[in-house]
Every structure is written in C-alpha cells, then in structure tokens.
Structure 1
Amino acid sequence: MSFEMRRAVFSLVGRVRPILIPCLILGAFVLWGMFELRATEDRVAAVARVLAGSGPRSGIDADLAVDLSEGFEARIRDYLLRHPKVLREALDPRRLARLALEAKGDQLLDEAGFPVVESSDGQTEPLVLVEFFDYRCGYCQRFFPAIEQALDRASRGEGPNLRFVAVEFPILGPDSERVARLALAVRALDAELYVEVHSDLMGPDGPQDYSETGLRKWAEGRAWAVGLDLDALFESGLSSPTVDESLEAARMWAAEIEVTGTPFFGVRGPGGWMFDPESAASPETFARLLERASGSS
C-alpha cells in the first residue's frame, strides 16, 4: 500500500474513533452512498470494517480496493451535503439511545448491581424495566404510582411479571445527590429497606428540605429508620465507598446509553430491548410501553 493511502486510512479511522456509535451509523450510510457510486460488494464491506474500526489494518492491502484519497473523502462530503437528513438521522439522540440500549442493556443488568425490585411468579421470564431517576424530579415522582401499580398487578397475577431496576441518577444538583446517597446508604445497611425508602422519597410525604439537617429530621419520623443508627448513617454512610461506586456506575451507564434526563425508561421483553421517548410523556404512555414490550398489544 502506498504511503498516501495508509495516511488516508489512519486519518479516517482516527477521526471516527471518538464517536464510535455515530460513526457506525454513518458508515452504513456511506456504504449506501458508495453503492450509488457503483462500488463493488467487496469494496463496500472493506470500507465498513475501516469505518467501524474493527478490521485488521494489516489486511487493508488485500481487502480495501477502494481509493481512500482526498477524492474519496470529498465524495462522502458531497453526498452528506446533498442528503443532510442522513446525518441528522444518524446523530439523533433518541436513535442513539435506543441503539446503545440494545447493544449494552444486558451488560448493564449483569454488571452494575443496581437495586432491583421483582414481582414474579417464577414461571415466566419477567419484563425488565430500567428507570434512571432523580428524587427531586417532578416527572419521576409523577410516574412512581404507575410503576408501583405495575409491580402490584404483577404480584397479583394480573399483569406481566416485572423486574424493576432502579438507577439513582441525581442530575438536579447537590440536593439531589444528597438524597440519592441517603437511599443508597440505607440499602448498603439493609437491602430490604430500600423499597421502603424509595417509596417514601418518591411519595407525597417525601422530604421538603433536602439539606442534611432537613433529611435527618425527615428520616427520624419514618418507619424504616427504626433501629438504624442515624448518626452513623449521616456522618459516614452517605459518603461510603459503596455509595460512591453506585453513583459512579449510574453515571457511567448513563453516558454509555446516552441518558441525558429523567425519567428515562428502557424495557426488555421477549423481543429484546425497547426504548420509546414518548413513554415519558405520561403514565398512560408508560403503561402502553409495558404492554408493547410484553407483546400484549
């Protein structure tokens, strides 16, 4: 391979690597554009491997019978200028979130260790509902009764079995992080208490003052706090390594699957993962998302 061709290949790979998912999508459309330019099937496959960063560079001589000179890049640029919708669709945040969830959602469940609440008869595989939430998010509070209802219906055999994965994702400032740390610190002491804490924090009797003093006063009157050492909880529990790791895992996975706001819902059913941004529009659209994921509509 000539030096100029190698330089063009490495330049192209270097530019696309920082934005891998958009690059993969863009690569598909580049293949389409090359087909219009009467490229052969072998050439198309080779370019796809280069754009994805997955093809061995040592094999480029044999596989890449395509001119990757400045003329080739100019043709890509010309195609995108003539079809700007292609780039908009490729970089649509909602599309990227869905693709990322499909690619990495199972890994999230297997590795992250987020709190899980399950209502299942043990006979059929449950739907998996993942929610990224913030306790101070009004929309998250609004959706909480719908989630409780879905879990209750599952427990009574009136709806699909459901596994709820709660991802603490405090994005509304220090107060949000403080209250998330409280919930996670209680969970670290007694995992079974997490459901009660979560329900109280999301419910109508949740705290009004999110300062440490306000949360401490609020916690003193809650049933789940009976028997807990609240002094130790607030002095060291909120800043424990376990709590830090949980919040860091949430931030990492939010970045991985393009979560930028709350609430964010993803559902895994028999047909795989589903992401529908409209599901966060109302509790009714959320319920329809669960129905579609279960195959009942």
Structure 2
Amino acid sequence: MTRIFASLLVLVTLGFAPAAMADEAPLSRSDVETIVREYLLANPEVLEEAFAALQTKRQEEAAVARTASLELYRDALETSEHGAVLGNPNGDVTLVEFFDYNCGYCRRAMDDLDRLIEGDPNLRVVLKEFPVLGQSSMEAAAVSIAVLNVAPDAYAEFHDRLLGGEGQASEDVALQIVSDMKLPRDQITELMRSDKVRDAIQESYEIAQALGLSGTPSYVIGDNVEFGAVGYDALKLRINEARCGATSC
C-alpha cells in the first residue's frame, strides 16, 4: 500500500496522472495537497505503517552506531583506571555497570549484581560512576572516586554502605561512612576536588553519550547494552552470550 501511494505521489508531483486523467491539465500544488490529504484520511493506517518503518530504521541506525561506539570505547569501558573492579579481576567476561548512588533502581539491583558475582567465579565487574540525579549524586560520586584512589581495598565495602544506605546519598553522608570506616578522610577530601575525579566522571559521561545511555542502571556486557534494572536472569543471559555465544553454557 505504501509503495503504491508513494508511486502515485511521484507521478502527480511531476505533473503526470493515471490514464483516466491524461487529458486534464497538470495538477497544481493545491491539487496534490488535496489528493494526499484525502488519501491519508481514507487510509490512516498508512501513517501507522510509515511511523513503524521510521522507528525500525532509527533503531537499526542506533544499533549500528552503538556497535561502533562499543569498539571505540572498549578500553575505557573495561580497563580504564577510573573504573572500580569487583569480582574476579582476571575473569573471562566483563560486566560494566553505570550507576548513581541516588538511583533507587540501582539500589534494588545490588542483589542481582551480588548474586552474579557470588555464583560466577569468572565474572569481572566494572563500576562506572554516572551521577545524573543532581548535585548530591555528583558529590557522592566524587567521594567514591576519591576512596577508590586513596583506599582501593576498602572501596567495595564503602560502595555497598553508600549505595545500600537509606535516604539520599550526599557528600556529608559519604564522608560519614569514610569516618566510620576509619579511612584517611583528609586525603580523600583533598582528592575530591582534583582533576582525577573530574576526569573519571567526564569519561563516564562521554561513553554514556556515545552509547545512548540516559539513565541508571545501565549495563554493557560484551557487545550488548542493557538499559535499566533488567534483573538477574537478563544479565545472566548476556553473560552467557558473551562467554560461549549462547543463552546457556
């Protein structure tokens, strides 16, 4: 139907017409607009078909662009100095999570990640700070990155306490955890204002923009990107695909 309609539009736009109209004067712009309007009113399903085709085309184009971006940013995703590594640092599959300390879905997804790490001794997890929920999230991320650099062995516990805590994460809340854990607060506070912290957050923003990530949590596993808290089963499926090319290994 759409192809026929498109062909008719080409003919009338060029001043031609079907055989029954061959002896009539060329159609004016107003005539063409009237024909198009009447056709669409009589066949509104054409608009749905065209919109669906446009969506499919855009999704395909986005997928192609995302694949290219994954290759371009692979090292920054998986081996950058700015990412915290959990699980097996030498694992055969890397799962990258973009998260925000004030993201409720990230908090609920903690159990999924813990379960994956506990059940898969060959899984490597990289955490990328992606503070998108306001100034308090930015502050919490700055403290977290500073902890990673000053006291890397304490990072996992700090991360769990801050992400798993109640209420809003902020600089004050994060620094209180630093004090409770007896970490070197002065060093951490000093590093929070450094280029190192800004570079880490900027790297996450740059990668997220290239991959079309707009919220948290988001995951990158092999050549697949998952948006949102998709759950344990979906993440496990992607891990299996990355590891052995099938949904189960």
Pair in the same fold by TM > 0.5: yes
1:220 aligns with 2:179: yes
- Among all aligned residue pairs of Structure 1 and Structure 2, give the percentage whose two residues are the same amino acid: 26
Contact 2:98/2:128, CA 8 A, preserved across alignment: yes
CA gap of 1:202–1:212, structure 2 versus 1, over 3 A, is closer
1:241 Cα deviation (Å)?
A: 0.7
Deviation at residue 168 of structure 1 after TM alignment: 0.5
Distance 1:97 1:257, change over 3 A: farther
Shift of 1:116: 4.2
Distance 1:266 1:182, change over 3 A: same
Match for residue 64 of structure 2? 99
**2:224 aligned partner:** 274
**TM-score after normalising by structure 1:** 0.58
| Residues 101 and 151 of structure 1: CA distance in aligned 2, closer, same or farther (over 3 Å) | farther
Distance in structure 1 (CA, Å) of the matches to 2:130 and 2:88: 26
- What TM-score, normalized by structure 2, do the two folds share? 0.68
Larger Rg: 2
Show the counterpart of 1:172: 133
Q: Write out per-residue CA displacement over residues 91-129 of structure 1, whole angstroms, 9 at most, x where no aligned residue.
A: 24xx5664344222243231361324254496xx61121
| Alpha-carbon distance in 1 for matches of 2:50, 2:219 | 32
Is 2:132–2:138's contact at 8 Å kept on the other side of the alignment?
yes
Matched, 1:210 2:157: no
Alignment of 1:228-247 (within 5 A): 228-234=183-189, 236-247=190-201
1:163–1:98 Cα change, 3 Å:
farther
Match of 1:199 in 2: 160
Question: What is the aligned counterpart of 2:142 among 178, 181, 187?
Answer: 181
CA–CA distance in structure 2, aligned partners of residues 231 and 96 of structure 1: 48
Partners in 2 of 1:154 and 1:245 — Cα distance?
31
Check whether the contact 2:162–2:174 (CA below 8 A) recurs between aligned residues.
no
Q: Residue 136 of structure 1 contacts residue 176 of structure 1 at CA under 8 Å; is this kept in 2?
A: yes
Q: CA deviation at 1:263?
A: 0.8
Structure 1 residue 242, shift from structure 2 partner: 0.3
- Structure 1: segments with no counterpart, 5+ residues: 1-32, 38-79, 156-160
Counting only pairs closer than 5 Å after superposition, residues 31-110 of structure 1 correspond to structure 2 as 83-92=50-59, 98-110=63-75
Residues 116 and 163 in structure 1, CA contact (< 8 A), matched pair in contact too: no
Q: Does the aligned pair in 2 maintain the 1:100–1:258 contact within 8 Å? A: no
CA distance 1:179–1:221, change in 2 (3 Å)? same
In structure 2, do the counterparts of structure 1 residues 142 and 209 end up closer, same or farther at CA, with 3 Å as the change threshold? closer
AA in 2 matched with 1:274: N
Q: Is the 8 A contact 2:137 2:170 kept in 1?
A: no
Question: Given the alignment, which residue of 128, 136, 140 partners 2:106?
Answer: 140
How many angstroms does 1:185 deviate by?
A: 0.6
Count of aligned residue pairs for this structure pair:
199
SS class of match (1:275) = strand
1:86 maps to a residue whose letter is A
Aligned pair in 2 of structure 1 residues 260, 121: CA closer, same or farther (>3 Å)? Answer: closer
Q: CA RMSD in A?
A: 3.0
Unaligned runs of 5+ in 2: 1-5, 11-45
The aligned counterpart of 1:250 is 204
Cα displacement (A) at 1:212: 3.2
Aligned partner of 1:191: which letter?
A: P
Distance 1:128 1:212 in 2: 30
Contact 2:100 2:137 in 1 (8 A): yes
How far did 1:255 drift? 0.6
| Amino acid across the alignment from 1:202 | L
